[in-house]
Amino acid sequence: MQLRQDDPEGDWTAPGVYEVGAGLYRIPLPLPQDGLRAVNVYAARDGDGLVLVDSGWALAEARELLEQAVKVLDCSLDGVRRFLVTHVHRDHYTLAVALRREFGMRISLGRDEAGTLRAAQDPAQPPWAGLLAQLHRGGADSLGRELSAVPSQHDVTDWADPDDWLDAPGVVELETGTWQMHATPGHTRGHVVFVDAARDVMFAGDHVLPRITPSIGFEQQPAELPLRAYLDSLKLVRGLPDRRLLPAHGPVSPSVHARVDELLDHHDTRLRQIEKTIEAGAGTAAGAARRLLWTRRGRHFDELDLFSRCLAVTETLAHLDVLVIAGRLQRTGEDGVYHYAKA
């Protein structure tokens, strides 16, 4: 492995160490499912050590690649001082937990992830509890049953609390600089983004992704209105100075603002489409999801894999609840299943 200049036109998932700024590097690490393919870990030089944004998934292959990458930077895993983690999802957090057991580096995570993290460490909690509850509200119990039949990868020992809880908005003091941190709930409740103004970049985690839209409220204890939180968080980062976008999945992109505008447009369109399915008699989130097209390729609901069908229902549910708050639809609940009609 050798240090290379980052090429935003190249295959962003190819293992390596890519220079994206002064003393700043992108290290893509593999993920086990084909959906997202890889996660970017960013390493910033800080004094004689490194600070890492996000950690990757606790897999032997990811650990091996990260170890090689920090060596290329004339450092070692021992020299990694701190993990700043954007959110609690497994692909961002669990390798930090595994490495801390060996090397004792410090892990920092947004405070509003505490509830999900507590549930993840509780052997009595079914791993899909949050998702199953949403599927029930969405009128998709049959998907819930299918999901429950899949053997779970969940292992409580993958999880542990961070060393410190980040309270955003605020600043993160590093040895050689100060970063700003902003609360961006939506993808998860406690998602945060970091801004390194000196390097003119935003570490956006999964809040702003260049090629896909992040799942909304996929967590053990979703917020009441995760999509509304997400849209507010998009507007929040749109109100900050524009910077280069350093996403957790996908290539580095020139403008946070440009992508946020596309995402806001996308959700506007989606809200209108979902409103129409209800006017046409869809009734529930599951009913609406079946009438929509999914992914950038415009796939039908039934062509999606099981997990994507579950996320499609929860995503639709999140949009429906925003339409209710906006007064465009009304909601009634029968046995905890939400039914929607024109307001």
- Interface positions with Zn ion (CB under 5 A): 91, 206
* Choice between 144 and 222, CB closer to Zn ion: 222
Q: Are 221 and 118 in contact (CB under 8 A)?
A: no
Q: Which residue is nearest to Zn ion (CB)?
A: 206
- Residue 32 CB, nearest approach to Zn ion (Å): 13
Residue 158 CB neighbours (<10 A): 17
- Residue 31 CB, nearest approach to Zn ion (Å): 8
Residue 303 CB neighbours (<10 A): 13
* Choice between 112 and 206, CB closer to Zn ion: 206
Q: Are 41 and 68 in contact (CB under 8 A)?
A: no
- Residue 116 CB, nearest approach to Zn ion (Å): 14
Q: Are 40 and 53 in contact (CB under 8 A)?
A: no
Distance (Å, whole) CA 229 – CA 231: 6
- Residue 249 CB, nearest approach to Zn ion (Å): 6
Residues 6+ away with beta carbon under 8 Å from 264: 231, 234, 235, 238
Closest CA relative to residue 106, chosen from 55, 62, 30, 45: 55
- Residue 42 CB, nearest approach to Zn ion (Å): 13
* Choice between 56 and 287, CB closer to Zn ion: 56
- Residue 250 CB, nearest approach to Zn ion (Å): 10
Q: How many CA atoms lie within 13 A of 195 on its CB side?
A: 17
* Choice between 86 and 284, CB closer to Zn ion: 86
Q: How many CA atoms lie within 13 A of 180 on its CB side?
A: 15
Q: What are phi and psi of 214, to 5 degrees?
A: -70, 150
